[in-house]
Amino acid sequence: MRVSKADASKARHLQRDALELAGVDPKYFYEDQASGKREDWPGLTACLKALREGDTLAVWKRDRLGRDLRHLINTVHELTARGVGLKVLAGDGVVEGAPSR
């Protein structure tokens, strides 16, 4: 989960509710309170480090995972290379794992 100071309370609850509804155990929640423009997200760093092959990373929306499109693409590429799936719960459709052709 990532929230900014401006939307912290509302966005935190929306993200938490969506993750719990998707079956994510709260002990696996990682959180940052930071602008999308900041470079250091210690929660995301710890989360990515904890993921193992066969795991699936669930995020509320794609913009919670990357600072910008390049960062998002690089992160997804890293996850794929490590055998980690990705599940986006809301936004412009649900994306799971690798794109289908």
Provide the annotated active-site residues.
Answer: 4
How many helices and strands in the chain, by DSSP H and E?
3, 4
43: amino acid identity, one letter: G
Q: Distance from CA of residue 61 to its chain's centroid?
A: 7
Supply 51's token pair: 């993921």
User: CB-side exposure of 71: number of CA atoms within 13 Å?
Assistant: 15
Residue 18 — φ and ψ, nearest 5°?
A: -65, -40
